[in-house]
Structure 1
């Protein structure tokens, strides 16, 4: 199991529009049967992300599939990404983590 985490940096004035963009991404992921969530840090280090989006994946290839067609058709996803990028201060930081499952008791 994997976790893809996207960290976004936005100005305070663009916080709510960014939340709306990410919430649309969360809903699209859930509609595709994926577990996703929006994270709003209550505290953060200097330079830390203002908002985060997490996506749970069974396989790494699901990330490419979702990023290409995450929010509707290819065209809709492209339009969404372009509009969202206009309020971002920098490209998102993407982390891919492997979830370590606890060993099953024998």
Structure 2
């Protein structure tokens, strides 16, 4: 199994809005049959992500398929991406991890 983790850096004033964007991403993942979750660090170092989105994958092709499908129609996905980008302080950091069973 693989985990794809997206780390988002947002200002404290934009945190709730970012959580709503990530919840929409979680709903889209779940609608695609994937297990996804929002991670909210309780402690973090300077320059660390404020919020993280994590999705479980059985193979890496699922990540590409999920990212292409987006969070709705093509126009809805475009609007979601623009709106989310407006509050991000930097592009999301993406980690792909393999779980050891």
Computing the radius of gyration from Cα coordinates, the structure with the larger value is 1
User: Is contact 1:68–1:74 with CA below 8 Å preserved after alignment?
Assistant: no
Give the aligned length. Answer: 101
Specify every segment of 5 or more residues in structure 1 that has no aligned partner in the other structure, as ranges: 102-106
Counterpart secondary structure, 1:46: coil
Counterpart of 1:69? 69
User: Does residue 98 in structure 1 map to residue 98 in structure 2?
Assistant: yes
Counterpart of 1:29? 29
Structure 1 residue 44: Cα displacement? 0.6
TM-score (structure 1 length as normaliser): 0.91
Counterpart of 2:82? 82
User: Does residue 3 in structure 1 map to residue 21 in structure 2?
Assistant: no
Runs of 4+ in 1 over 4 A off after TM superposition: none
TM-score (structure 2 length as normaliser): 0.95
- Deviations 1:69-104 (Å, cap 9, x if unpaired)? 130123322221111001000000000001111xxx
Structure 1 residue 61: Cα displacement? 1.0
Cα distance in structure 2, aligned partners of 1:99 and 1:74 = 32
Structure 1 residue 64: Cα displacement? 1.0
Specify every segment of 5 or more residues in structure 2 that has no aligned partner in the other structure, as ranges: none
User: Is contact 1:2–1:99 with CA below 8 Å preserved after alignment?
Assistant: yes
